[in-house]
Amino acid sequence: MAIVQKSKLTRDLSISLLLYTLPVVAIYLYFKLGNGVITDSHITLPSFLQFAQPAFANIRTWGLTVFMLVLGVIEFGAGLYDDQWTGEERKIDIISFLAPKLILPPVIAFFSLTALPYLIPDLANSLSWVPFWGGFFLIAVADDLTQYWYHRLHHQVPFLWRFHRTHHSAPYMGMAMLSRQNFIYTIFFSQIYLTAALTYLGLGLPALFVLVIKSFITLGAHSSIAWDKPLYKYKVLHPIAWVLERLISTPATHHAHHADTSGDGVGHFKGNFGNMFFIWDVIFGTGLITRKFPKSYGIKSYKQEEWYAQFLWPIFKSKKEGSALAEGVFAVPLKQKEESISPSPVYYEQAQS
């Protein structure tokens, strides 16, 4: 079994390296076929997108936060959280939403304005000649494929799982839990720094458009408002559904990832790792498409740990007996009959005896 898993991991990483090179090859061929001619149009937005730049800039700075809050109000107004958003759940959701907005910007600013100019001073704007479509393609693949692997490894590596566990402990889906993460998981988001580096190299405009589009897709995938259900209900829309559910994350596929069990044929916490693009799961065989929604979400072994333990483990530990975030807790190999205990596909949580 270990040999098979290692072989699959090696194969998937090899495919990933190929995928990372596709945008680079496409840009190279574009200029090769064009005799290497670079015109002003290559370093500016296409004319049909120039009007959208101010809108995308405003959406990125404050529009997404407003959209998220409005969508959350609609969800609450529709009673989609029932009585589950109480006590520690409110605290961890609110803190996880606010803290990164206060702490992450200075970290990213230091990385972009101080660290990168020091480490690679001669490369600033060195990719500004890349056409908009090329930069968009490059960042879309680099950012989201990197996050796919970051996400996947946090499900498959026992030590890493507990940094991501907070996101899966919520027994509901919606805007309230979208930002719900252990802060260490958030601060080390690998794709954040990769995209910041590409922006420093001159791909700021395509980065802006990619991040806004990705934000809307991930918002929609986490929302308790199942916008994709009409696509499955009406036969005339099935072709659109077929393409969308294989290309991007939808509520059906991402809700399945947050299910508290995989035994019902709908929940799939062992896969559906894609964030913006679901196609990574299709390529690597980690996807499950059922067009159905789980009956319940979260972790069956959830102890409703204190907000500080969920947000800052392992700096602060939980005092809840039997919690995976408590002192002296370790992971042991998963037994098949206990598969539904934790979203980790290989390990489950158990207190040290």
pLDDT digits (tens, 9 = 90+) for 273-294: 999 999 999 999 999 999 999 9
Residue 30: inside a domain: yes
* Backbone phi and psi for residue 73, each to the nearest 5 degrees, phi listed first: -60, -40
DSSP code per residue over 87-119? THHHHHHHHHHHHHHHHHHHHHHHIIIIIHHHH
Residue 324: inside a domain: yes
The confidence score (pLDDT) of residue 344 equals 39
The confidence score (pLDDT) of residue 42 equals 58
Burial category of 177 from C-beta neighbours within 10 Å (exposed 0-12, middle 13-18, buried 19 and up): buried
Residue 7: inside a domain: no
Domain ranges, residue 83: 20-35+51-351
The confidence score (pLDDT) of residue 88 equals 86
CB atoms < 10 A from the CB of 239, how many?
Answer: 10
pLDDT digits (tens, 9 = 90+) for 237-264: 999 999 999 999 999 999 999 999 988 8
User: Are 53 and 140 in contact, with CB atoms under 8 Å apart?
Assistant: no
Residues 26 and 276: their CA atoms lie apart, in Å, by 21
- Separate counts of helices (H) and strands (E) for the chain: 16, 2
Residue 171: inside a domain: yes
The confidence score (pLDDT) of residue 65 equals 84
The confidence score (pLDDT) of residue 59 equals 79
pLDDT digits (tens, 9 = 90+) for 38-73: 655 556 667 667 777 787 888 778 888 888 888 888
Residue 27: inside a domain: yes
The confidence score (pLDDT) of residue 44 equals 67
The confidence score (pLDDT) of residue 69 equals 86
Residue 162: inside a domain: yes
Residue 40: inside a domain: no
Residue 9: inside a domain: no
CB atoms < 10 A from the CB of 58, how many?
Answer: 13
Give the chain's domain count.
1
Q: Which two tokens stand for residue 128?
A: 């500004």
* Residues in the chain where the model's pLDDT stays below 50: 332-353
